[in-house]
Amino acid sequence: MDTTASERVHCLIIGSGPAGYTAAIYASRANLKPVLYQGIQPGGQLTITTEVENYPGYPDGVQGPDMMVHFEKQASRMGADIRFGLATKVDFSQQPYKVWIDDEKLIEADAVIIATGASAKWLGLESEQKLNGFGVSACAVCDGFFFRGKEVAIVGAGDTAAEEALYLSKLCTTVHMFVRRGEMRASKVMQERVQATPNIKIYWNTETEEIIGEKKTEAVRIKNNQTGETQTIPVSGFFVAIGHEPNSAIFKEWLDMDEAGYIKTRPGTSKTNIEGVFAAGDVQDKIYRQAVTAAGSGCMAALDAERYLGEKGLH
Ligand code: NDP
């Protein structure tokens, strides 16, 4: 590893979703001269969604990728130094904190804001990939509205799947819910709510074989893994709710996390267990996971970083 190419920065932001860019806007305006590394998917999860109708300030809705271009432009106009590159290793043992980009460039930072997000898990079917954005979605709150008055399917059996099935049941005529085992993982109260909702139809021991459609989702073929019986159900939307994976692997050695890898922050703040290292957005939030909540927590992280640098006499 080439550690000779090192650069000292005041405030380093890792990640380029709503949390990272909002942190960059606030940090720039506070004159923290932030440097932001975008990661492998500049713009984050919103760049793989279509229309966003629930982000305040866009009365006519906005395409997810366009919205992230707006975020980036705003951060850039405020003076953030936005760069392409992936953080591959960190050393938080002492100040200044070390972060390696693309395994070669070393950045030394007084404060670090982690906004690396999370990635939705997918089933791994070819048809799922092909129809992603064309009826296939991993976010009912983002996309459910487009299927109002229609039949949809959802796969998963945890709290997210239960919550999303309930959300969809208020918009859609029928929600077909595919559970791969004979029981659900979701909390009891959520299971009871799902089972008491007349337009949610649960299929136990059921796996998805294929999502059918050329240009848009038209049906789904499922298989009962006990009997081997298959059936095809016409649906317009197919929601995958089998969990998310926070992008936190490189921080494992240093930061407190829950069992799923979400970074723990002190309640009501963006502070991690290491002073001067802050976390914002989906990498520390498994509950809300919305663009607007991620943006809000990015703002918190920049304000926390500003206060920290001031208290340490570094700003
Ligand atoms: P979980 O990991 O809890 O559940 C994932 C579900 O998807 C499981 O039921 C699992 O089945 C199923 N699954 C996984 N892979 C496949 C597959 N290939 N095919 C079919 N089904 C599959 O993820 P969640 O996102 O639901 O929740 C994550 C955490 O966040 C949990 O701790 C949850 O309690 C919490 N949460 C809390 C909320 C709240 O408090 N309001 C809201 C949302 C989440 P199996 O059971 O067979 O393994």
| Ligand 1 atom with the shortest distance to the CA of 156 | 7
| Ligand 1 atom with the shortest distance to the CA of 161 | 26
Three-state secondary-structure class, residue 3: coil
Question: Of the residues 204, 224, 240, which one is the last residue of a structural domain?
Answer: 240
Number of domains in the chain: 2
* pLDDT of 47: 85
Asked whether residue 1 is domain-assigned, the answer is: no
172 among known catalytic residues? no
Measuring from atom 7 of ligand 1, which residue has the nearest CA?
242
Measuring from atom 46 of ligand 1, which residue has the nearest CA?
185
Asked whether residue 177 is domain-assigned, the answer is: yes
* pLDDT of 4: 55
In short, whether 180's Cβ falls inside 6 Å of ligand 1 is yes
* pLDDT of 68: 97
Q: Please indicate, yes or no, whether residues 12 and 100 belong to a single structural domain of this protein.
A: yes
In short, whether 9's Cβ falls inside 6 Å of ligand 1 is no
Q: Please indicate, yes or no, whether residues 146 and 286 belong to a single structural domain of this protein.
A: no
Measuring from atom 43 of ligand 1, which residue has the nearest CA?
160
DSSP string over 12-66: EEE--SHHHHHHHHHHHHTT---EEE--SSTTGGGGG--EE-SSTT-TT-EEHHH
How many Å apart are CA 84 and CA 101, to the nearest integer?
A: 9
- Closest to 6 in 3D by CA, of 102, 80, 106, 90: 106
In the reported structure, the alpha carbon of residue 129 is separated from the centroid of ligand 1 by a whole-number distance in angstroms of 20
Question: Of the residues 211, 240, 269, which one is the last residue of a structural domain?
Answer: 240
Catalytic residue among 11, 110, 143, 159: 143
In the reported structure, the alpha carbon of residue 241 is separated from the centroid of ligand 1 by a whole-number distance in angstroms of 7
11 among known catalytic residues? no
In short, whether 128's Cβ falls inside 6 Å of ligand 1 is no
Q: Please indicate, yes or no, whether residues 306 and 276 belong to a single structural domain of this protein.
A: yes
| 212: its two tokens | 């059918």
Catalytic residue among 2, 81, 102, 142: 142
- Closest to 154 in 3D by CA, of 136, 170, 131, 127: 136
Q: Please indicate, yes or no, whether residues 114 and 257 belong to a single structural domain of this protein.
A: yes
Report the amino acid identity of residue 206. T
Q: Please indicate, yes or no, whether residues 128 and 65 belong to a single structural domain of this protein.
A: no
Asked whether residue 40 is domain-assigned, the answer is: yes
| Ligand 1 atom with the shortest distance to the CA of 124 | 18
The CA-atom distances, in angstroms, between 91 and each of 11, 34, 108 are: 15, 19, 10
Q: Please indicate, yes or no, whether residues 230 and 251 belong to a single structural domain of this protein.
A: no
Three-state secondary-structure class, residue 110: strand
Torsion of CA 223, 229, 234, 239, to 10 degrees: -20
Report whether 201 contacts 175 (CB < 8 A). yes
Asked whether residue 253 is domain-assigned, the answer is: yes
* pLDDT of 315: 83
Q: Please indicate, yes or no, whether residues 39 and 177 belong to a single structural domain of this protein.
A: no
Q: Please indicate, yes or no, whether residues 158 and 82 belong to a single structural domain of this protein.
A: no
Q: Please indicate, yes or no, whether residues 98 and 15 belong to a single structural domain of this protein.
A: yes
How many Å apart are CA 286 and CA 77, to the nearest integer?
A: 31
Q: Please indicate, yes or no, whether residues 280 and 291 belong to a single structural domain of this protein.
A: yes
Domain of residue 32 covers 6-119+245-311
143 among known catalytic residues? yes
Q: Please indicate, yes or no, whether residues 173 and 213 belong to a single structural domain of this protein.
A: yes
| Ligand 1 atom with the shortest distance to the CA of 183 | 46
Measuring from atom 14 of ligand 1, which residue has the nearest CA?
242
* Residue ranges, the chain, pLDDT below 70: 1-4
Q: Please indicate, yes or no, whether residues 97 and 179 belong to a single structural domain of this protein.
A: no
In the reported structure, the alpha carbon of residue 161 is separated from the centroid of ligand 1 by a whole-number distance in angstroms of 7
Asked whether residue 136 is domain-assigned, the answer is: yes
CATH code assigned at 139: 3.50.50.60
Asked whether residue 250 is domain-assigned, the answer is: yes
Question: Of the residues 184, 217, 240, which one is the last residue of a structural domain?
Answer: 240
